[in-house]
Amino acid sequence: MNEAERYHEIDLPFYRDEIAPLLPPRVLDFHVHIWRREHWREKPWETDADGGKYMVVQEEYPPEALDADLGRMFPDRPCEAVCFGFPSPAVDLARTNADTARLGATPGRYPLLIAGKGVQSPEELRRQVREGGFFGYKVLLNWYGDDYGDIAVSDMLGPAEMALAEELGLLVLLHVPRAGRLADPVVQAGVRDYARRYPGARFVLAHCGRCYLPDEMREAVGAVADLENVYLDTAMVMDPTVLQIALEAVGPQRVVYATDLPIAAMRGRRVYVMDHWMDVVLPGYPPSGPYRVAAPAVGGHDIRATFMVYEIILALHRAAERVGLSAGEREGLFYHNGAALLAGVRGLG
Ligand SMILES: [Zn+2]
């Protein structure tokens, strides 16, 4: 089956029958990466460095590719997106941030600046946010691959970055560090400390605080439940129980639909086995260590699988159903919660 056949025979019917009925008239994806090949200072997957092959799917994902993917995945409705570059030390941040800023001129595209502790001087940070029309930060992951080490939240964001976020009501999209994820007491303390000290900033924890397993979410979410300025994005979270626990703890308004495109353009599903997760995908994607497993063909046929984007939507819908959310609250997950976050940023332009 070639790409076009797969799209027309598997993806599109599944979208029409199972996905489209769950969605509001427009959708907002709160976590999308864009980058161009010329933004790389070095290509981690071409080195033997530890973690160099972690989670990279392609050399570039320019805005045109995003438009094409969203057009294919949501052929009957607009999909808006919060966009930012590839937040890695291997990338020329000035170039990728400038490119993302240009995207802000496109309706329905909301740029975040890749920033982090000391990445820009305070004056430069303010200038870039203002002139680029950025809605906030995607916090730089200042390490390679999956080596999250002993980094604390205060190592990723300093007082200068937070003071500006407080002043302008910026969004702070944070991929929490450390092997324990949001269940780690050091991470929890860091998030709580900043959320309370900077109540005007709005924190969005990427990947639900990196909790892909129900037990992780159960241990983690209590730490942020009472923090009204902490939100959870659903990027790459495909387990309904994880999302159910999140919704029960923080309520329907502080969860936002998000995918992590282009990763979520892979066909397959993130699953968990015992106490770890992996992506089960169709053959042909680049390897990513134990995190990505290509399902072998059975009887000459690949497994039936569709875009992970749809799996995230389904998981979120199932969680919302179990929690008993109203139709309006469900629409909020896919659009209005995120739109309200964007609308709360002050002093743009
Ligand atoms: Zn991401």
pLDDT above 70 (res 60):
yes
pLDDT one-digit tens code per residue, 304-319 = 999 999 999 999 999 9
The pLDDT of residue 79 is 98
Query: How many A from CA of 230 to the centre of ligand 1?
Result: 18
Query: How many A from CA of 299 to the centre of ligand 1?
Result: 35
Query: How many A from CA of 301 to the centre of ligand 1?
Result: 31
Average pLDDT over residues 137-156: 83
pLDDT above 90 (res 135):
yes
Phi and psi at residue 81, to the nearest 5°: -155, 140
CA distances from 241 to 23, 63, 238, 262, 275 (A): 20, 33, 9, 24, 15
Binned at pLDDT 50, 70 and 90, residue 45 comes out as confident
Average pLDDT over residues 218-229: 97
Query: How many A from CA of 291 to the centre of ligand 1?
Result: 15
The pLDDT of residue 10 is 97
Query: How many A from CA of 209 to the centre of ligand 1?
Result: 12
Query: How many A from CA of 159 to the centre of ligand 1?
Result: 24
What is the rounded CA–CA span in Å between residue 107 and residue 20?
A: 22
Binned at pLDDT 50, 70 and 90, residue 52 comes out as low
User: Which pTM value belongs to this model?
Assistant: 0.95
pLDDT above 90 (res 282):
yes
Q: Show Cβ contacts of residue 301 under 8 Å, excluding neighbours closer than 6 positions.
A: none
Average pLDDT over residues 286-297: 91
Average pLDDT over residues 55-82: 93
Structure tokens at 117: 């502790």
Specify burial of residue 144 (Cβ count, 10 A radius: 0-12, 13-18, 19+).
middle
Query: How many A from CA of 259 to the centre of ligand 1?
Result: 8
Q: Is the dihedral of CA 77, 339, 121, 148 positive or negative?
A: negative
Query: How many A from CA of 252 to the centre of ligand 1?
Result: 22
Stronger pLDDT, 89 or 72, i.e. the higher one: 72
What is the rounded CA–CA span in Å between residue 26 and residue 331?
A: 9
What is the rounded CA–CA span in Å between residue 145 and residue 51?
A: 4
Query: How many A from CA of 55 to the centre of ligand 1?
Result: 10
Query: How many A from CA of 260 to the centre of ligand 1?
Result: 5
pLDDT above 80 (res 137):
yes
Query: How many A from CA of 235 to the centre of ligand 1?
Result: 7
Query: How many A from CA of 10 to the centre of ligand 1?
Result: 26
CB atoms within 10 A of CB 117: 17
pLDDT above 80 (res 56):
no
What is the rounded CA–CA span in Å between residue 104 and residue 112?
A: 9
Domain 24-267+305-343 has CATH 3.20.20.140: yes
What is the rounded CA–CA span in Å between residue 192 and residue 125?
A: 24
Single-letter amino acid code for the residue at 265: A
Query: How many A from CA of 31 to the centre of ligand 1?
Result: 6
Angle in degrees, 0-180, between the axes of helices 159-168 and 122-132, rounded to the nearest 10 = 30
What is the rounded CA–CA span in Å between residue 133 and residue 129?
A: 6
Query: How many A from CA of 261 to the centre of ligand 1?
Result: 7
pLDDT above 70 (res 145):
no
CA 61 to chain centre: 15
Stronger pLDDT, 291 or 55, i.e. the higher one: 291
Q: Show Cβ contacts of residue 345 under 8 Å, excluding neighbours closer than 6 positions.
A: 135, 136, 168, 169, 170, 171
Structure tokens at 147: 């080596």
Binned at pLDDT 50, 70 and 90, residue 192 comes out as very high
Binned at pLDDT 50, 70 and 90, residue 58 comes out as confident
Average pLDDT over residues 282-286: 93
Average model confidence (pLDDT) across the chain? 93
Query: How many A from CA of 298 to the centre of ligand 1?
Result: 32
Query: How many A from CA of 32 to the centre of ligand 1?
Result: 7
H or E, element range at 319: helix 308-323
